[in-house]
Structure 1
Amino acid sequence: MNGIIIITTDSLAKRAFANRLHKRSGGRVDLVIVQQTHCKPLHKRILGYVRKVGILGLPREIWFTLLWLFLPRVRRTHSWLKARSENNRAAISWVPKTVTVESVNTDKVREIIAAYSPKLIVIWGGMIVKTQIINLASHVINMHFGWCPYYRGTHCNHHAILKDDWERVGITIHYAVKAVDAGEIIAVIPGDPAKRPIELFQDLNNRAEAMYLNIALRLLKDERVSSKSQDLSQGKNYLLKEWTYERRYRLGKLLLERTKKRI
């Protein structure tokens, strides 16, 4: 069919994006594949604690978990990184056809995508998409919430803030390849460090999502889209196991402190 396949998770912002892309492309979004997110059972979460910090680090991690749970003001700051203009009207429901799956990397999903013979696969959701899926389209792009090549992997803007590297808080649009967030860069959208954190991220997310949509439309029309390779030695691939409750808590405190300084 040579249209668009979107691979994502469910949220208001992602529904709005998919619906707008479907409308702007003249109905060329053939399918939205929605990967389910699951809350791990308690015993697996405890094992996850141990894997992240080790037995000796467990009491400290539990302490910061309690601080996180009982200090909602700190906890709420994390929603600032997802701030964007209201898009509820465009996100009441999915307009394109959707299918919900446990994982996007199964043979069944590969067969579903192959049947559509897409020109473009658009990824938004943080999941790792394997080569067997990436190879199914002429163009496969991803929107990464971090500044490549410096911050690749997961929770990248979070880590940049923890390192006081506000000049490299941003969003990268790149071609998807086998390695995580390592494909050629199409665009980097920078945040504005002069703004208060919530305003910074609302502006950043709005601009990045608009640019992502426009890049998708250009690729669909076979327009030339320039890109450049990454020098991976300049940065780091951050892993999920590095994102501890201590770091969550410290990030929240930093966001509150920075907001006070800019009032």
Structure 2
Amino acid sequence: MQLYVFTVEPGLARDVVAAGAAGIVVDWENRDKVRRQQGWGTEINRHTPRDLERVRAATGGRVLCRINAHGPWTADEVRAAVARGADEILLPMVRRPEEVDRTLDLVDGRCGLGILVETRDAVERAAELARRPLSRVYVGLNDLRIDRGATDLFTPLVDGTVDRVRAAVDVPFGVAGLTLPGLGTPIPTRLIGAELARVGAAFTFLRRSFIADLAGRDPAVEVPRMHAASAALRARTLEQVRADRDALLAAVGGTPAPLQPA
């Protein structure tokens, strides 16, 4: 399981990658985000092009840059991210394939392009979107909840939404987020990790609580513990997979979709 950390602190970026994280995410997405996420308790970063330069200089891991949703500013943001060394650009709030096509044209093969499936439109068009030459696809639960007008963050994990998107994707797929083993609220990170293993996720972004949970701990110890926990979940029996799925359903509530182990 590849682990990606949102941070622009060069020392932390260097340490977590050295400990085994796959890379770092620098987050430029903030246009209209305050209005869109008002009242939802989400985190809004205001990272800068200079932050991307500093992180790129600090680590040999992959550096991903999340830009804003497609708009008149996209060409400038793509140009800035490529110039400052991003290995991949992440396009959030995708709604139409045309947005992805235009961004791919702007990228022009100079780095990878991944998309965030976090709108109803993107979920419905997942198969069409996945036919593009993407570097990765990630289901963003926070914005998908807001776009749906839903209440529970984790419902897409149990109602079949994540499974349907996953079935359409041939490139590295990710969803949700993890923190240190034994922690995580309101859903324990073990149950989230169990779902990532079940659907065959190749990567995840670490939960915003990860940085707080890591305080006072050694990344060289904690990141390998996360990898070991992920490996153990991938080795479960079908009976154990079902038990973990039942535990997640009990924690989230709702009606389960048919179980489809990867």
Range class of TM-score, shorter chain: 0.3 to 0.5
Name which structure has the greater RCO, CA cutoff 8 Å, separation 6+: 1
Q: Which has the larger radius of gyration?
A: 1
> Structure 1 length normalisation: TM-score?
0.32
> Structure 2 length normalisation: TM-score?
0.32
